[in-house]
Amino acid sequence: MVKRRYSNLIIIITGLALGAFSAINGYADEVPELPETPIIPVTDVYHGVEVVDNYRWLENGDDPAVCNWSEAQDAYTHRVLDDIPVREAIAKRLHELYNESSPEYYWFQHKSGEFFALKDQPPLDQPLLVKLESLHDLSTEQVILNVNQLDTTGLTTIDFYVVSPDARLVAVSLSRSGTEDGNVHIYEVATGKPLPDVIPRVNGPTAGGDVAWTADGSGFYYTRYPYPNERPLEDLRFYQQVYYHQLGTSISDDPYVIGKEFPRIAEVEFETSPDETHVLAIVANGDGGEYAHYLLDPSGKWTQVTQFSDMITKAKFGPDNALYFLSHKDASNGKILYLPPGKTELPYGLTLVTDGEAVIRDFLPTESKIYIRDLVGGPSQIRMLDLADGSQELVPIMPVSSAWAMMSLGEDKMLFKNSSYLAPPAYYTYEPSHDKPLRTAIYVTGPADFSDVEVVREYATSKDGTKIPMNIMRRKDMKLNGNNPTILYGYGAYGISMTPGYDRTLSIWLDNGGVYIEANTRGGGEFGDEWYKAGNMTNKQNTFDDFTACAQYLIDAGYTNPSKLAIRGGSAGGLLVSAVMVQHPDLFRAVVSHKGVHDALREELDPNGEFNITEWGTVKDPAQFKALHAYSPYHNVVDGVHYPDVLMTADENDYRVNASNSRKMTARLQAATTSEGYVLLRLSSGSGHGKGDALSRRIAQHADTYAFLFDRLGVDLRNQ
């Protein structure tokens, strides 16, 4: 039970001016003053505990006073960042890294023998939707949709697309300005011309959206959020249900199909059988990893196949319309179940792959095999299981790499994507009769050079004795002299794993003597369900202890020292770095939090907050409130502490993490810190939570982030 009382209106003008001074690499002598930030105390009472919130007024992003404050903060931030001498050179190099790289293809679909994909083609802000007749001949490419022509501002993006079974039509969800509020449009593949059918409110932030075509391509099932006249305003981003649209008919005639029994925080996506006769609705219970499955058969009947309690995290159709499930029930690392065609209850299922040392993350059934993608503490492996005799063998992939996006090419052939920290992504085909995968023409090249970089895996010891892996990228000739500028990155939530991934922008940091580390903290999924559960809900402090231990290890091992160490994270990782900063302010020189959660007590009240209760907990539960209050960064800032320099980024159109988190945390830190450094807030509008960001906006944010880190950690830019 939460009770709230408002104190007498006391406005205290803090008017914090951080002062003009010369920075490490030569800021201008005069720096503009920060805007004045009134204190208007509001007291909440949670389970008998009084919690004072001095900056509740900053939550209302529509309030003119908040808008003025935000604009002043952003102007101050850009004045500071623009005056950093290396920023221009960093921005120039970033443009080279992107614009001189080859196009990148992703999100492949295979229909009627043809391939479809999204294609990033710098300097275009948004991807193209293309068709390819062959993965080995890019000259066969045809552009179906170029949203850069639809919207020259670069703010319209593709949320998802689904090709019809006959490859004649494609359904595309389009949203604008980072909102992820997508309407589905239908395009002819051959001509790129739109059909008059436009379906509103199909996609949204957090819960997403999806489409599943009928076998003859005459219509499709789609997810839909409530219309304004159907539910109250506060419910319009919840209660996702399934409807059906027949092409050429009015959307007002679209019948409801299923979903009234789904939870308020349902997140629905579809799997379609290879012959397009069956549809599986995969229903997530928010973001906590619970799923239920509903099967549509050719007669039009929906049957619930699994419950949330079955701990099924993935489901796939086999070539014969059999169902395969990845289950974590009594199997922390996962097991694969088989449900024969015609059966719709799990008790009929057979266990094909039992729980083992590797963590099963995905699988792909083919005619006589199952390809299984495992995590081995972060890096991937792909196993090939023979369904006839149960024998297994490994598919050769790059060492210490990530493999994903497995897709069937018929018979026992498959396509997959592979990359590492040092090698850019490439697509490969594989079939059992070949010794090794064959690289297709779909691969990335560019000017980033990692030839003098190595990746080493080292372990920190957390507070409770748990060994925490880190993947450390460093120059091969680097000396452990305790003085290397270092970035430690983390996430640690939702069972999402930090896996080897190629980031061309890191070459800027590494080429200038920096060290970059990704930490595999608990809360991720690197070591299975137990590793994840040890870092969520009331166990969340373990994630922060793990990350802190990694920072301390880097100092003790001679990589760096607190004056040369920065931490960085985004979204849940933004909460991670701000919580660790507040708990251990003396360990770091700089902190970058991208679109992070900082007020953990009020996150569940935000537009999508209820989806996250299954991950973080709720203040309505006494034990969960106690844990949330103990680590909530905003509530644990202490006056008079020397905090590190901070750069926070946020977007006013972010419906996953409310920008008010960053506004309030910025105000609190600016008022509390005794540092003569900076607490900067970089605000934007039009990028949302990051999905579908325009390339030009991504480059600008990277330039600001690296300029801030170069300056704060005293890094000289070489070869300008």
Check: CB of residue 186 under 8 Å from CB of residue 169. yes
pLDDT at 16 over 60: no
Q: HEC states along 285-325?
A: ECCCCCEEEEEECCCCCEEEEECHHHCEEEEEECCCCCEEE
d(CA 180, CA 438): 36
For residue 339, pLDDT beyond 60: yes
Work out the pLDDT band at 653, boundaries 50, 70, 90.
confident
- In 3-state terms, the chain is what percent helix, strand and coil (to 5)? 20, 35, 45
For the chain, give me the number of helices (H) and strands (E)? 11, 41
Name the DSSP class of 184: E
Stretch 660-673: mean pLDDT: 97
Model confidence at 25: pLDDT above 50? no
What value does the mean pLDDT of the chain take?
92
Q: Percentage of the chain with pLDDT > 90? A: 87
208: confidence class by pLDDT, cuts 50, 70, 90: very high
The answer on pLDDT for 710 being more than 90 is yes
Average pLDDT over residues 324-337: 93
pTM given for the model: 0.91
Could you read off the pLDDT of 85-100 as tens digits, one per residue? Answer: 999 999 999 999 999 9
| Side chain identity, residue 566 | A
- Please determine, for residue 381, whether its predicted confidence score (pLDDT) is greater than 60: yes
Whether the per-residue pLDDT at 715 is higher than 80: the answer is yes
pLDDT digits (tens, 9 = 90+) for 556-610: 999 999 999 999 999 999 999 999 999 999 999 999 999 999 999 999 998 788 9
pLDDT digits (tens, 9 = 90+) for 434-480: 989 999 999 999 999 999 999 999 999 999 999 999 999 999 999 99
Average pLDDT over residues 188-200: 98
User: Higher pLDDT residue, 341 or 163?
Assistant: 163
pLDDT tops 70 at residue 77: yes
- Asked if the model's pLDDT at residue 62 lies above 80, the reply is yes
Confidence of residue 719 (pLDDT cuts 50, 70, 90): low
Whether the Cβ atoms of residue 604 and residue 618 lie closer than 8 Å to each other: yes
